[in-house]
A and B are shown apart, each in its own frame.
Chain A
Amino acid sequence: MPVFRLHIPFLDEVKAKGVRNAVRDKADDVVTRVTAGLNASAVRAVLRDDPPGRPNPRLTPHAEGFWLHMRPTYYNNLMDGLYPTFRLGWLSTFFFVFEIVTGLFLMVYYTPSPLAAYQNMLNIMGGVPLGSLMRDLHKLGAEAMVVVVALHMLRTFLTGSYKKPRQFTWATGIVLLGVTLFLSFSGYLLPWDQLSLWAVTIGASMAEAVPPEVVGRTINLLVRGGPEFGANGLLRFYLLHVLALPLVGIVALGVHYYKVILHGHSLPPHAEAVGEDTAKRVPMDNRTYFMPKILTRELFYVCALTFGLVLMGTFFYNAPLELHADPLVTPLHTTAPWYFLWLQGMLKLGDKVIWGVIVPTILGGGLLVLPYIEVGPSRRYADRRIGLSLAALFLVALAVLSFMGTPWYGVETSPEQEAVATLLPQTHPGPLRSADWEQLPIGTYEASQWSSAPTPELSALLRTFHDEVSRVNNASRQEAEGLMVIENWQTGLKKVTLRVVWTNQADSSPGEFSQVTYLHRDAGYEGE
């Protein structure tokens, strides 16, 4: 009796059916196993939109496969149009996966240390093939995901889909909204440039306002890893970004998806009687099967969206990278990320504790428990006038507060600094750096004499400067003038001094503000 017996059944089949038939049957078998129930001809039939056989083999993967058991076998025809879902939930998931894929790529080239992070960014942009594109895509996807998730929540509110029995689905959705916002926010710090450091500093300083003082101080220390952002804070934000928040997101997303399958997609409000939920009872002649229609359409979405995003990232969108983070230099006009501008706007209303901590907490908590408080049975728009009006009001308030969060509202600035910053902003290249280097001839130029400048680009710059400088004139300051001095500084390097001078009316004394920059021939800001 042999100790070891090797038996390959495939060889028996070859012997019985011949090589060709055996290979064909084996391939069919493999496809059936991978798709959890569909053989090759069934897959082909799905893609060709042939009518399914009886019994419908396309139901098996939903019952036996892991991935498709998270998707419904069929949808109500009413859910097949763009309204009412606008595909926003699906899009949120798409972006979540998109961010994981592009994020993994970036992680390979990143070290969470202030000594290395910025250098890593430069390396990703200039030393890693497709690195710059991946970074653009990751940032673009993050911004889009915030928009899509917020719109998804808005849609769910508008169609009343948060109502019984979907209260908990809504609550997990709020958790996912929070995860999305904080994923985006925690990613902000990682490039370790000026934009990162100061946007996140603004956000984190809110944590300090949590009363009582000892709690606020402790939270602040925990978040930043010290009194100021440094190596510890960066590492903490990195771990939040790549580990803690995605983990929470995946768990919440699993529950969210499970609940959607459990309760079915809620129908448009007018489609069912008030107080009824018929999502799971879809009449036979009103069904759109996942296979083939939904499946092929989603595959189309994936291809088209990826193409669109890559197109954007290649030609129209560049993820910004400012100068290396410097805790000693606060740039003019620092703001929070745009999706937190409303919070920054609220902080300008008054007390940091009330507007920065208490109101946002009430807001977040209120949203979380909304479906348990607002228990009106009707999902129809006509029956929810108060709720919908409040939502509209909420959106307007959000828009107004976001505007108030920008530097254009309620920020005391000095016109001379503004005048210089118009040409030489601290947060992006701006007109002076983007100007053609050759068109900045050595010399001293008065802004008021812009029309006689030697080159057209210099003339345009001086004109802008002159317009801005004229705002320095007011009751106490007169005769404001702008000067631009361009010096030859080194091989391929020019020094440009922007100077604003004026006369103080009170004592006729001169006043001056100036800023210096150095421009290199090959700095390549033109395209930005």
Chain B
Amino acid sequence: MKWHIALGMLSFVALSALLAFVGFNELARMQAYREATAAREIEAGALTFENNCRPCHGPQGKGIEGVAPAINAADLFNGERLKSIGFAGTVEDYVAGVVAAGRPVPTAGTTYPQRMPTWSQRFGGPLREDQIDSVVSFIMNWRETALAEAAPVVSAPAGGGVGTDLAMRLPTGDAVNGKSLTEGALGCTGCHVLAAVGPAWLPQAGQPGIGARAETTFAAPDYTGKAENAEQYLIESVVQSNAFVVPGFQPNIMPANYGNRLSAQDLADILAYLKTLK
């Protein structure tokens, strides 16, 4: 019977030693756990951003001109943007507030056609608080790289833009390069592929792709533009986006400045790609 007492004492001592060991490591463990939690929050935020923010703010948050501003940009993280609108809090507070509550009034001097919607469920939006927090963490994780590459996001190509003349002669296009251009900072896919802000490029629901539609639209009775063939129709759609707005969509959503942003080769590549979408 005495071995009960001996073993009991031994267990008690062992338990105390174990708890001392746990206690000794506890602060470091807690710190590691908080760091892991912060990292996982960024992971979760990346997915939420991709599903909800990318359609307007563009891939990698570089912004889509005429749709929504860049958030992966130096002027946000270095405080200039906050100064220009007179916000006194931190960048993180600003991002959190705008994501949660939206921007009912646009920043003075900007002409974005849509308002930043309300995202938090607290204000009637679709996202939970933890999702808002994770998106903010994801956005704030751009800080380092955005400040490093403080160059302007959108610039005219060397040798000037292609212009807006429908009868222009274009070089031979490369569809593969065109595809990657549309997925880049030009922001095309944000509205035409990933979301239904603009007419869908890919064939869906019985409707053929943009390449096939271009061959018939310019001859349709309700067409109001000046294109005389499929090629011109596509050029007009890119560089004179408001000349003809496909029924069911709003004018002034698509930026009208692609004539200045694209080189002749870029436009030719994009057209070559669009023609493959039938």
A residues with a Cβ closer than 8 A to B are 47, 49, 115, 118-119, 122, 125-130, 132-133, 292-293, 296-297, 299-300, 302-304, 306-307, 310-311, 314, 323-324, 326, 489-493, 495, 516-525
A-B contact pairs, 22 of them (CB 8 A): A49-B1, A126-B37, A299-B5, A299-B8, A300-B7, A300-B11, A303-B9, A303-B12, A307-B11, A310-B18, A310-B19, A311-B18, A323-B44, A490-B138, A490-B145, A491-B141, A517-B43, A518-B46, A522-B38, A522-B39, A523-B39, A524-B39
A300, B4: Cβ atoms closer than 8 Å: yes
Binds A, one of B25-33, B63-71, B261-269: B25-33
In the complex, besides A126-B34, A132-B33, A522-B36, 11 extra interface pairs with C-beta distance below 8 angstroms are: A118-B130, A125-B37, A296-B5, A307-B12, A310-B18, A314-B21, A324-B131, A516-B50, A522-B35, A523-B43, A524-B33
Q: How large, as a class, is the contact surface on chain B? A: 35 or more
B219 part of interface (Cβ distance < 8 Å): no
Given A132-B33, A518-B47, A524-B35, residue A304 in contact with residue B2 (CB < 8 A): no
Q: How far is it, in angstroms, between the C-alpha of A492 and the C-alpha of B19 when the chains are bound?
A: 35
A520, B40: Cβ atoms closer than 8 Å: yes
With both beta carbons as reference points, the residue of chain A lying nearest to B34 in the complex is identified as A126
Among candidates A49, A126, A489, residue contacting B46 with C-beta atoms closer than 8 Å: A489
A524, B26: Cβ atoms closer than 8 Å: no
B1, A296: Cβ atoms closer than 8 Å: yes
With both beta carbons as reference points, the residue of chain A lying nearest to B72 in the complex is identified as A490
With both beta carbons as reference points, the residue of chain A lying nearest to B44 in the complex is identified as A323
With both beta carbons as reference points, the residue of chain B lying nearest to A309 in the complex is identified as B15
B128 part of interface (Cβ distance < 8 Å): yes
Q: How far is it, in angstroms, between the C-alpha of A130 and the C-alpha of B25 when the chains are bound?
A: 10
B39, A521: Cβ atoms closer than 8 Å: yes
A304, B11: Cβ atoms closer than 8 Å: yes
B117 part of interface (Cβ distance < 8 Å): no
Q: Which residues from chain B contact A299 at a C-beta distance below 8 Å?
A: 4-5, 8
B30, A127: Cβ atoms closer than 8 Å: yes
B42, A490: Cβ atoms closer than 8 Å: yes
A133, B46: Cβ atoms closer than 8 Å: no
Q: How far is it, in angstroms, between the C-alpha of A133 and the C-alpha of B18 when the chains are bound?
A: 12
Q: How far is it, in angstroms, between the C-alpha of A151 and the C-alpha of B128 when the chains are bound?
A: 43
Q: How far is it, in angstroms, between the C-alpha of A132 and the C-alpha of B7 when the chains are bound?
A: 28
A324, B1: Cβ atoms closer than 8 Å: no
Among candidates B7, B27, B34, residue contacting A129 with C-beta atoms closer than 8 Å: B27
Q: Which residues from chain B contact A307 at a C-beta distance below 8 Å?
A: 11-12, 14-15, 18
Q: Which residues from chain B contact A489 at a C-beta distance below 8 Å?
A: 46
B7, A304: Cβ atoms closer than 8 Å: yes
Q: How far is it, in angstroms, between the C-alpha of A129 and the C-alpha of B50 when the chains are bound?
A: 36
Q: Which residues from chain A contact B42 at a C-beta distance below 8 Å?
A: 490, 492-493, 518, 520
A520, B39: Cβ atoms closer than 8 Å: yes
B15, A303: Cβ atoms closer than 8 Å: yes
Q: Which residues from chain B contact A125 at a C-beta distance below 8 Å?
A: 33, 37
A519, B130: Cβ atoms closer than 8 Å: no
Q: How far is it, in angstroms, between the C-alpha of A507 and the C-alpha of B131 when the chains are bound?
A: 42
B129 part of interface (Cβ distance < 8 Å): yes
B145, A132: Cβ atoms closer than 8 Å: no
B30, A126: Cβ atoms closer than 8 Å: yes
Q: Which residues from chain A contact B15 at a C-beta distance below 8 Å?
A: 303, 306-307, 310
**Closest-CB distance, A58 to chain B (whole angstroms):** 14
Considering residues A49, A118, A307, A492, which has the most beta carbons from chain B within 10 angstroms of its beta carbon? A307
With both beta carbons as reference points, the residue of chain B lying nearest to A490 in the complex is identified as B141
Given A129-B27, A293-B1, A323-B44, residue A303 in contact with residue B8 (CB < 8 A): yes
B144 part of interface (Cβ distance < 8 Å): yes
B39, A492: Cβ atoms closer than 8 Å: yes
With both beta carbons as reference points, the residue of chain B lying nearest to A293 in the complex is identified as B1
**Closest-CB distance, B54 to chain A (whole angstroms):** 12
Q: How far is it, in angstroms, between the C-alpha of A293 and the C-alpha of B2 when the chains are bound?
A: 9
B22 part of interface (Cβ distance < 8 Å): yes
With both beta carbons as reference points, the residue of chain B lying nearest to A519 in the complex is identified as B43
Q: How far is it, in angstroms, between the C-alpha of A128 and the C-alpha of B34 when the chains are bound?
A: 11
B32, A516: Cβ atoms closer than 8 Å: no
Q: How far is it, in angstroms, between the C-alpha of A341 and the C-alpha of B1 when the chains are bound?
A: 42
B141, A133: Cβ atoms closer than 8 Å: no
B23 part of interface (Cβ distance < 8 Å): yes
**Closest-CB distance, A117 to chain B (whole angstroms):** 10
Within 8 A of A (CB), among B175-223: none
A520, B4: Cβ atoms closer than 8 Å: no
With both beta carbons as reference points, the residue of chain A lying nearest to B30 in the complex is identified as A126
Q: Which residues from chain B contact A310 at a C-beta distance below 8 Å?
A: 15, 18-19, 22
A516, B39: Cβ atoms closer than 8 Å: no
**Closest-CB distance, B30 to chain A (whole angstroms):** 5
Q: How far is it, in angstroms, between the C-alpha of A118 and the C-alpha of B141 when the chains are bound?
A: 23
**Closest-CB distance, A12 to chain B (whole angstroms):** 39
**Closest-CB distance, A252 to chain B (whole angstroms):** 30
Within 8 A of A (CB), among B82-140: 128-131, 138
B244 part of interface (Cβ distance < 8 Å): no
Q: How far is it, in angstroms, between the C-alpha of A324 and the C-alpha of B130 when the chains are bound?
A: 8
Among candidates B2, B34, B47, residue contacting A49 with C-beta atoms closer than 8 Å: B2
With both beta carbons as reference points, the residue of chain B lying nearest to A520 in the complex is identified as B39
Q: Which residues from chain A contact B131 at a C-beta distance below 8 Å?
A: 324
Q: Which residues from chain B contact A122 at a C-beta distance below 8 Å?
A: 37
Q: Which residues from chain A contact B39 at a C-beta distance below 8 Å?
A: 492, 520-524
**Closest-CB distance, A315 to chain B (whole angstroms):** 9
Among candidates A129, A490, A495, A525, residue contacting B30 with C-beta atoms closer than 8 Å: A129
Q: How far is it, in angstroms, between the C-alpha of A276 and the C-alpha of B9 when the chains are bound?
A: 41
Given A324-B128, A521-B39, A523-B36, residue A296 in contact with residue B8 (CB < 8 A): yes
**Closest-CB distance, B125 to chain A (whole angstroms):** 14
B11, A292: Cβ atoms closer than 8 Å: no
Q: How far is it, in angstroms, between the C-alpha of A516 and the C-alpha of B144 when the chains are bound?
A: 24
With both beta carbons as reference points, the residue of chain B lying nearest to A311 in the complex is identified as B18
A303, B11: Cβ atoms closer than 8 Å: yes
Q: How far is it, in angstroms, between the C-alpha of A122 and the C-alpha of B129 when the chains are bound?
A: 15
Q: Which residues from chain A contact B11 at a C-beta distance below 8 Å?
A: 300, 303-304, 306-307
Q: Which residues from chain A contact B145 at a C-beta distance below 8 Å?
A: 490-491
Q: How far is it, in angstroms, between the C-alpha of A326 and the C-alpha of B34 when the chains are bound?
A: 22
Q: How far is it, in angstroms, between the C-alpha of A422 and the C-alpha of B128 when the chains are bound?
A: 29
Closest 8 CB pairs of A and B: A524-B36, A300-B8, A303-B11, A520-B39, A126-B33, A518-B46, A522-B39, A307-B15
Q: How far is it, in angstroms, between the C-alpha of A296 and the C-alpha of B141 when the chains are bound?
A: 59
With both beta carbons as reference points, the residue of chain B lying nearest to A526 in the complex is identified as B36
With both beta carbons as reference points, the residue of chain B lying nearest to A48 in the complex is identified as B2
Q: How far is it, in angstroms, between the C-alpha of A126 and the C-alpha of B9 when the chains are bound?
A: 32
Q: Which residues from chain A contact B38 at a C-beta distance below 8 Å?
A: 522
